[in-house]
Amino acid sequence: MRDSYRTDAPELLGSAEERAPALQWVGLLLAPAAFFVHLQVAYVLVPWACVVRAQIWVHLTAMIAIALALAGAWAGWRAHARADNAQSNEGAGAVPRTRFLGVTGICTSALFALILIAQWAAGFVISPCQ
C-alpha cells in the first residue's frame, strides 16, 4: 500500500536527485552579502585605521570580501555544473531552475567581485585620513 504514494518526479519530493538548492542560493546571495558587510565594516574601520595608522586591516577586510565573492561565483558554477549532466532542459522543474540560478549566481558574483576590487584599489590611492 505504501508504494501507491510513490511518484516518478523526484524533484517534487526533494530527494537526492534534486539539484542542490542550497548551493544555488549561496551562489546567488553570497557576493552581495559580502559586499554589503564589507561596506559597513569599512565605514566603521576607516576612522579607526586613521587614528591607529593601521591600513592593513582595511586591506585585509577587502581581501576577505573579494574571496567570499569569488566563493559565491564558484558555488554558482558548481550548481550549474551539476545540472549540465541532466537530460531534460524543457519546461519547468529543478534542472532549468538550477541552470538559471547557477548562471545568475556566477554573473552576480563576478559583478560584485569587480566592484569590491575597485573599492580595494581606491584604498591604495586614498588614505583613510583623507
Res. 54 pLDDT band, cuts 50 70 90: confident
Q: Do 105 and 34 contact (CB within 8 A), yes or no?
A: no
User: Would you place residue 22 in the very low, low, confident or very high pLDDT band (cuts 50, 70, 90)?
Assistant: confident
Question: Among all chains, which residue has been given the C-alpha cell 558554477?
Answer: 77
pLDDT tens profile 72-103: 999 999 988 887 766 666 667 777 888 888 99
- The three grid cell numbers given for residue 125, joined into one nine-digit string: 590611492
Average pLDDT in the 20-41 region?
92
The C-alpha atoms of residue 41 and residue 60 are separated, in whole angstroms, by 11
Contact 54, 123 (CB under 8 A): no
Tell me what pLDDT residue 99 has. Answer: 85
The pLDDT assigned to 90 comes to 67
Q: Where are the domains of the chain?
A: 22-83+93-125
Tell me what the pLDDT averaged over the chain comes to.
83
- Residue 58 makes CB contacts below 8 A (sequence gap 6+) with 42, 45, 46, 49, 123, 128
CA distance 58 to 65: 11
